[in-house]
Amino acid sequence: MAVKSVFNRIIHPILIGCFFWIACGDIPRDNALDPLNPDSTHPRKHLIEAFVNISDHPSRYNQWMLEALNDLEALYEEDLVIAIYHRSINGYPDDYASPVSNTRYNDLYEALDDEAIRGVPDVFINGTSQRIQGASDPSVAFDRLQAAVHEEFSNNHKFYMNVQVSTDMIDLTAAVTLSRLGNQDASNLRIQAMIISEYNGAYRNHVVQDLEISDTINHLDEGEIKEIQITGLTIDPSETQSLVIAIMNDEASYAYQADVIPID
């Protein structure tokens, strides 16, 4: 069994101080990363979920959107987590399509208003907070994506995650330590976990292969820390894969925070 931990040094130095020489109540609550500091915060990573089809369709709309996403990621690599869902639609099969792609797309689509139109390419930023459909060319698609991302950059949410990954053959388990920063509580949250693969060739990055969503986390007090286990994910040890983790609302239609962890 392999175990990997991603710990951004936010919680554990504070907790260690509780065990040595001083009581937790004596710690000055002026550390910006202390969950019990009412002003604590952590940089937000924004989740982009793109739905595409790269079959032999004569149009290039999907490829142009993927090119624009590559350029966007190159510019804002530290701020974004990108997951690409391939879909087979209208008689055009996509070799990288997965059953979870249609399930996730339907969930997001149902969270939209009744006049929403289905199709690809279709890009969602932080759930349904921002949506970009179609791509007339790569530069126009990039401009639209960048404008939407800039709007999201102004919306920060005070959550922190520590993720520990363990693998056993093709099974992956993620232990997610979740804390609510700042001076507000939170309710009705879920953790969404995705396995993404990196393939050789154009338009084959960040391909979603599997997805699981946790049970509802009913409540998280300000400064509270909880651990959630995500099981049921399947990996392919022969591929280059990563785990994407996102803190979502109860309907999984809005992402508060996201991160990506390489799977060794």
Domains of the chain: 2-8+158-202+209-263 (2.60.40.10), 46-153 (3.40.30.10)
How does DSSP assign 201-263, residue by residue?
STT-SSEEEEEEEPPPEEEE-TT-EEEEEEEEEE--TTSEEEEEEEEEETTS--EEEEEEEEE
User: pLDDT 10s digit of each residue in the chain, 264 long?
Assistant: 555 544 443 344 443 333 333 333 444 444 444 555 555 567 899 999 999 999 998 899 999 999 999 999 999 999 999 999 999 998 899 999 999 999 999 999 999 987 788 999 999 999 999 999 999 999 999 999 999 999 999 888 889 999 999 999 999 999 999 999 888 899 999 999 999 999 988 899 999 999 999 999 999 998 899 999 999 999 999 999 999 999 999 999 999 999 999 998
Contact in structure between 159 and 178 (CB atoms under 8 Å)? yes
How does DSSP assign 168-195, residue by residue?
ETTEEEEEEEEEE-TT--EEEEEEEEEE
55, 166, 181, 189, 191 from 51: Cα distances, Å: 13, 28, 32, 24, 20
Question: Could you tell me whether strands 171-180 and 225-234 are parallel, antiparallel, or unpaired per DSSP bridges?
Answer: antiparallel
Element (H, E) at 13: helix 12-19
User: What's this model's pTM, rounded to 2 decimal places?
Assistant: 0.86
**Joined tokens for residue 77:** 């690599």
